[in-house]
Chains A and B, each alone.
Chain A
Amino acid sequence: MDREPGTVPKGQRIVVAMSGGVDSAVAAALLCRAGYDVVGVLLRIWPSRRPAAPNDRFDSCCSPRAADDARGVAAALDIPFYVLNYEDEFEREVIQPFCDAYAAGRTPIPCLACNARLKFGSLVARARSWRADRVGTGHYARVARDPRTGRHLLRRGADRRKDQSYFLYGLTQDQLARALFPVGGQTKAETRRLAAAFGLPVAEKPESQEICFVPGDYRAVVRERAGAVLRPGPIRHADGRAMGAHAGLADFTVGQRKGLGVSAGRPLYVVELDAAANTVIVGEDGDLWAREAVLEGCNYMPWEAPPGPRRVLAKVRSAQPEAAATLTPMEGGRAALRFDAPQRAIAPGQAAVCYDMDDPDLVVGGGTIVAARR
């Protein structure tokens, strides 16, 4: 288990956020085995009295079925377990900003807000009121401490393919100080092996991605809440030609090819969402490539902010491999990220996360992409 030795006294109470999945289950089990006083919780983010919709993914993270699975794991570990009513807070801190972002032509990542404001935000405060100083999760990431500065650092999970550091770049020093990632230092295969060894009911459970349970699909959620803001508008080619019409910006994201309802000789992709003009701008593949991303709301781990421009390995989507770039901090928490080679489909609303060039597992920091520039 990857954590700083000696910093968490034995017997100390730790709240573990359980999703019903195998990763958080094993995280809880490892902490139990290590002698901590583990309290399991599941954040109920879905509306309690909503009737089931046909698209409901009842097996996804934090869904009603997940509560049963998490409860079963807690019973197997003989630890207290509580389902916490986070419906209102999730609506306010995650879903509403999510809808606002779509309405503004951006492609948001709800997991970022959930981690920062719920799991490592208000849950940490509640844990403290229960005399638990730490919150553990099943994330594939690692915390570390810089021996010279004392700052808390974030590193990738040992399993590169499962690494979730991209979704945790926003954690503050205080949040990192209180975070525990018991499975971060091992592979997914090892996690599954441990689940079986511990006899946990979820050992064989299929993958749950870091996708929230949202009734129906994202577009329906956005339409339901931000419908008034979504208006039909034009689709234009990057060269200015009128190409057709769209029913609302929220249906599109940069790089998208399907659902455009327009055709030309060659494949067309969404190149930009112009919220001010309520226009979807399309172009060919060549139009999707850009070298620079402008970032806002940046958060850094090794320092408050980098002392100057810095060479990094950065990615602009969670599933995209990182690429060499230069990160230049600017005022007001903004930054410019200039890649050596053009990157495809840089989408405002996504996160750009930077890793140290010499120590590629070390997260330098990241921010929200607000614009892409050639």
Chain B
Amino acid sequence: MRAYLDHCATTPLAPAALAAMRPYLEGCLGNASSPHAWGRAARAALEGARAAVARALGARDPQTVVFVSGGTEADNLAVKGAARAGAGRGRHLVVSAIEHHAVLEAAAALEAEGFAVSRVPPSGDGRVDPGAVEGALRPDTVLAAVMLVNNETGAIQPVAEIAARCRARGVLVHADCVQALGSLPLDVEALGVDLAAFSAHKAYGPQGIGALYVRPGTPMRALLHGGFQERSRRAGTESVAAAVGFARAAQLAAGSLAEDGARMAALRDRLERGLVAAAPGARVNAAGAPRAPHVTSLAFEGVAAESLLIALDLEGVAASAGAACSSGSLEPSHVLQAMGLPPDRCAASIRFSLGRGTTAEEIDYAIAVVVQAVERLRAALPAGAPA
């Protein structure tokens, strides 16, 4: 018996997405920028994909969708592209402290270039307060970045409110929506953001492609230079097959959202209830915040997350915690730290993220494995001992 409960890391490719991609992987597809018949066929498929992705995101104009290589590139393009384009007006950025590393590291890179960065911590419940973001804005602020769904806790951030306040002050807003696609209804225009990042493989699409929504009129500098693809916003031959797969996955996600969401929320709640009941000292992090239906972060007192994850993996249960360092070992979650959770609670926390295919049987198996593992870990390592 195995249970894959790490869908925030990646999701399996939907069969319908694979089927949609196949024709574009086989045979001879041209380069979408070539004017000949092969190229035109590729171009038609690419633009069809672009339109479908735009619809799934709530963007009326397909040209607002820029295809990139994934969520990380989308975040980098948004943060660096908008900051550098706006440097004439100012060189200050505001980011939430719970952003994905792609946003945080892009901001840090800009800091090294002479930008000033303010990092707004969340409240203890894992939500960023719009007032706190507004309070960090300065006359020279160019961009504020706050994600829609946090990937560690699932906490849904008040992006529409934050965007409204920033727009009123003339500050651009970027929302990393990577974990939102497929778990929340999405409407980038209703959110009122200028930029939004998406990743296909977090929503049952292929790895290697993502999108950046760019509201018309948003000043942006490209990161990749070369050809004039994506209206000179992102050079490089587009992967038509990947875009088609992304589009199909995005359509599926939008279509089955309500039903999937309800089912995953029920299973997620079952997981939480089961663990809190059977594992003494188990607590849900960010329990008080509205959360995406598929994510839960739990702290298991007295247990080291790294040891627990290994115990789970050895029994066929996949979960995660924090971020991996370059050699693959675990670092504590910066999100939990930013929420003000004490270090030992951060070190004892792991994240489960469910998917469309998760079953009640898998949940029950995971509960049993976790409970036994927690017991063994506590027995083998006395409280307070480093593990």
**A131 interfacial by beta-carbon distance below 8 Å:** yes
**A83 interfacial by beta-carbon distance below 8 Å:** yes
Contacts of B330 in A (CB 8 A): 85
Are A82 and B310 neighbours in the complex by a CB distance under 8 Å? yes
Q: Please measure, in the bound complex, the distance between the C-alpha atom of A84 and the C-alpha atom of B387, giving whole angstroms.
A: 10
Which of B313, B381, B385 sits near A80, CB closer than 8 Å? Answer: B313
Contact A44/B329 with A84-B306, A88-B386, A122-B387 known, Cβ cut-off 8 Å: yes
Q: Please measure, in the bound complex, the distance between the C-alpha atom of A88 and the C-alpha atom of B344, giving whole angstroms.
A: 14
Contact A85/B331 with A48-B325, A126-B387 known, Cβ cut-off 8 Å: yes
Contacts of B381 in A (CB 8 A): 125-126, 129
Q: Please measure, in the bound complex, the distance between the C-alpha atom of A94 and the C-alpha atom of B377, giving whole angstroms.
A: 24
Contacts of A48 in B (CB 8 A): 325-327, 329, 331
Contacts of B379 in A (CB 8 A): 129
Contacts of B331 in A (CB 8 A): 48, 85
**B337 interfacial by beta-carbon distance below 8 Å:** no
Are A125 and B329 neighbours in the complex by a CB distance under 8 Å? no
Separation in Å of the B336 CB from the closest CB of chain A?
Answer: 16
Contacts of B314 in A (CB 8 A): 13, 39, 80, 130-131
Q: Please measure, in the bound complex, the distance between the C-alpha atom of A122 and the C-alpha atom of B386, giving whole angstroms.
A: 8
Binary interface encoding of chain B residues 288-310 relative to chain A, with 1 for a CB under 8 A from any of its CBs, else 0: 00000000000000000011001
Which chain A residue has the least Cβ–Cβ distance from B306? Answer: A85
Are A129 and B386 neighbours in the complex by a CB distance under 8 Å? no
Are B327 and A64 neighbours in the complex by a CB distance under 8 Å? yes
Q: Please measure, in the bound complex, the distance between the C-alpha atom of A297 and the C-alpha atom of B180, giving whole angstroms.
A: 59
Contacts of B376 in A (CB 8 A): 128-131
Q: Please measure, in the bound complex, the distance between the C-alpha atom of A84 and the C-alpha atom of B309, giving whole angstroms.
A: 11
Contacts of A83 in B (CB 8 A): 327-329
Contacts of B306 in A (CB 8 A): 84-85
Contacts of B163 in A (CB 8 A): none
Separation in Å of the B30 CB from the closest CB of chain A?
Answer: 38
Which chain A residue has the least Cβ–Cβ distance from B378? Answer: A129
Are B387 and A44 neighbours in the complex by a CB distance under 8 Å? no
Contact A129/B327 with A39-B314, A84-B306, A85-B306 known, Cβ cut-off 8 Å: no
| CB under 8 Å from chain B, chain A span 246-303 | none
Are B380 and A71 neighbours in the complex by a CB distance under 8 Å? no
Are B386 and A128 neighbours in the complex by a CB distance under 8 Å? no
Separation in Å of the A114 CB from the closest CB of chain B?
Answer: 14
Binary interface encoding of chain B residues 345-387 relative to chain A, with 1 for a CB under 8 A from any of its CBs, else 0: 0000000000000000000000000000100110111000111
Q: Please measure, in the bound complex, the distance between the C-alpha atom of A49 and the C-alpha atom of B329, giving whole angstroms.
A: 12
**B311 interfacial by beta-carbon distance below 8 Å:** yes
Contacts of A68 in B (CB 8 A): 327
Number of residues of chain A lying within 8 A (CB) of chain B: 25
**A159 interfacial by beta-carbon distance below 8 Å:** no
Which of A49, A84, A125 sits near B380, CB closer than 8 Å? Answer: A125
Contacts of A130 in B (CB 8 A): 307, 310-311, 314, 376
Which chain B residue has the least Cβ–Cβ distance from A67? Answer: B327
**A2 interfacial by beta-carbon distance below 8 Å:** no
Contacts of B387 in A (CB 8 A): 122, 125-126, 129
Contacts of B329 in A (CB 8 A): 44, 48, 82-85
Q: Please measure, in the bound complex, the distance between the C-alpha atom of A39 and the C-alpha atom of B307, giving whole angstroms.
A: 13
Q: Please measure, in the bound complex, the distance between the C-alpha atom of A3 and the C-alpha atom of B310, giving whole angstroms.
A: 27
| CB under 8 Å from chain B, chain A span 60-118 | 64, 67-68, 71, 80, 82-85, 88-89, 92
Are A126 and B327 neighbours in the complex by a CB distance under 8 Å? no
Contacts of B311 in A (CB 8 A): 129-130
Q: Please measure, in the bound complex, the distance between the C-alpha atom of A131 and the C-alpha atom of B315, giving whole angstroms.
A: 11
Q: Please measure, in the bound complex, the distance between the C-alpha atom of A126 and the C-alpha atom of B373, giving whole angstroms.
A: 11
Are B307 and A44 neighbours in the complex by a CB distance under 8 Å? no
Contacts of A92 in B (CB 8 A): 386
Contacts of A42 in B (CB 8 A): 327
Q: Please measure, in the bound complex, the distance between the C-alpha atom of A280 and the C-alpha atom of B328, giving whole angstroms.
A: 44
Contacts of A67 in B (CB 8 A): 327-328
Contact A129/B328 with A80-B313, A89-B386 known, Cβ cut-off 8 Å: no
Contact A126/B380 with A80-B313, A85-B306, A89-B386 known, Cβ cut-off 8 Å: yes
| CB under 8 Å from chain B, chain A span 127-149 | 128-131
Q: Please measure, in the bound complex, the distance between the C-alpha atom of A214 and the C-alpha atom of B327, giving whole angstroms.
A: 16
Q: Please measure, in the bound complex, the distance between the C-alpha atom of A13 and the C-alpha atom of B310, giving whole angstroms.
A: 13
Q: Please measure, in the bound complex, the distance between the C-alpha atom of A131 and the C-alpha atom of B328, giving whole angstroms.
A: 23
Contacts of B310 in A (CB 8 A): 80, 82, 130
Q: Please measure, in the bound complex, the distance between the C-alpha atom of A82 and the C-alpha atom of B329, giving whole angstroms.
A: 7
Which of B327, B373, B380, B385 sits near A44, CB closer than 8 Å? Answer: B327
Contacts of A125 in B (CB 8 A): 380-381, 385, 387
Which chain A residue has the least Cβ–Cβ distance from B331? Answer: A48
Q: Please measure, in the bound complex, the distance between the C-alpha atom of A48 and the C-alpha atom of B380, giving whole angstroms.
A: 27
Contacts of A84 in B (CB 8 A): 306, 329
Separation in Å of the A38 CB from the closest CB of chain B?
Answer: 11
Which chain A residue has the least Cβ–Cβ distance from B381? Answer: A125
Q: Please measure, in the bound complex, the distance between the C-alpha atom of A130 and the C-alpha atom of B308, giving whole angstroms.
A: 9
Contacts of B326 in A (CB 8 A): 48, 64
Q: Please measure, in the bound complex, the distance between the C-alpha atom of A126 and the C-alpha atom of B325, giving whole angstroms.
A: 21
Q: Please measure, in the bound complex, the distance between the C-alpha atom of A85 and the C-alpha atom of B331, giving whole angstroms.
A: 8
Separation in Å of the A16 CB from the closest CB of chain B?
Answer: 14
The residues of A with any CB-CB pair to B shorter than 8 Å are: 13, 39, 42, 44, 48-49, 64, 67-68, 71, 80, 82-85, 88-89, 92, 122, 125-126, 128-131
Q: 11 A-B residue contacts at CB 8 Å?
A: A48-B325, A48-B329, A64-B326, A82-B313, A82-B328, A125-B385, A126-B381, A128-B380, A129-B376, A129-B381, A131-B376
> Top 7 closest A-B pairs, CB basis?
A48-B325, A129-B380, A83-B329, A67-B327, A85-B329, A83-B328, A129-B377
Q: Beyond A82-B313, A83-B327, list 18 extra A-B contacts (CB 8 Å).
A: A64-B327, A68-B327, A71-B328, A82-B328, A85-B306, A85-B325, A85-B331, A89-B386, A92-B386, A125-B385, A128-B376, A129-B311, A129-B373, A129-B379, A129-B381, A129-B387, A131-B314, A131-B376
